[in-house]
Amino acid sequence: DYKKNEQIFIVNINPEIVVKNYKNEKMKEILNKQKYQIPDGSGIVWASKRKKGKIKERITGIDLMLKICEKSQEYDAKIFLYGATQEIIEKTQKELKKMYPKINIVGKCNGYIDENNATEKIKKSGADIVFVGLGSPKQEEFIIKNKATFSYIKIIMPIGGTMDVISGKLNAAPKI
């Protein structure tokens, strides 16, 4: 779908997000509306099987983010990293470059500066793909609020603390 003129807002669905938004009708509606809902939690896979749903396996946010980074090289897609501390974001950029030498990171912005400032930076960068790691629900709210003005962005994905993992600060949660 990448080449089509469609904007993709990837939403991660894990038990924590389900519980947090159980009573939040607006957020539930937004999450349910998205075409790409990633089953990021074994509890989600279990619930789907119980309800005879179609979900077969868990996809973690980090796996998907890395896959997108890998694929982006084929298209020379422009990537923007937003979130985490300055140190973590620098380290993440280095690690991604090591893994994917042809990756094109056009901009980055730590998650502790003024949001409007970050929005401007993202817009100016002309990025095709933006990863937003501000923690939940802050990152989803940021994306929902700014989605319309980011109309040229092809993929916007909330990534939680994934940059902390890529940079080596944290260990990834075991994949069960």
Q: From the list 80, 156, 160, 167, which residue makes contact with ligand UDP (rule: CB under 6 A)?
A: 160
Instruction: Copy the structure tokens of residue 169.
Output: 């600060």
Q: From the list 30, 130, 134, 153, which residue makes contact with ligand UDP (rule: CB under 6 A)?
A: 134
Query: Residue holding tokens 């793909």?
Result: 129
- Is 161 a binding residue for ligand UDP by CB under 6 A? The answer is yes
Closer of 39 and 161 to ligand UDP (Cβ): 161
Name beta bridge partners: 41.
none
Closer of 128 and 164 to ligand UDP (Cβ): 164
Binding mask 37-76 for ligand UDP (x = CB under 6 A): ----------------------------------------
Note if the bond before 137 is cis, omega within 30 degrees. yes
How many chain residues are in contact with ligand UDP, going by CB under 6 A?
13
User: What's the rounded Cα separation, in Å, for the pair 98 and 94?
Assistant: 6
Q: From the list 10, 41, 133, 154, which residue makes contact with ligand UDP (rule: CB under 6 A)?
A: 133
Strands (E), 15-163: 37-39, 78-83, 104-109, 129-133, 155-158
CA 26-32-78 angle, 5° bins: 100
User: Contact positions toward ligand UDP, by CB under 6 A?
Assistant: 83-85, 111-112, 133-136, 160-161, 163-164
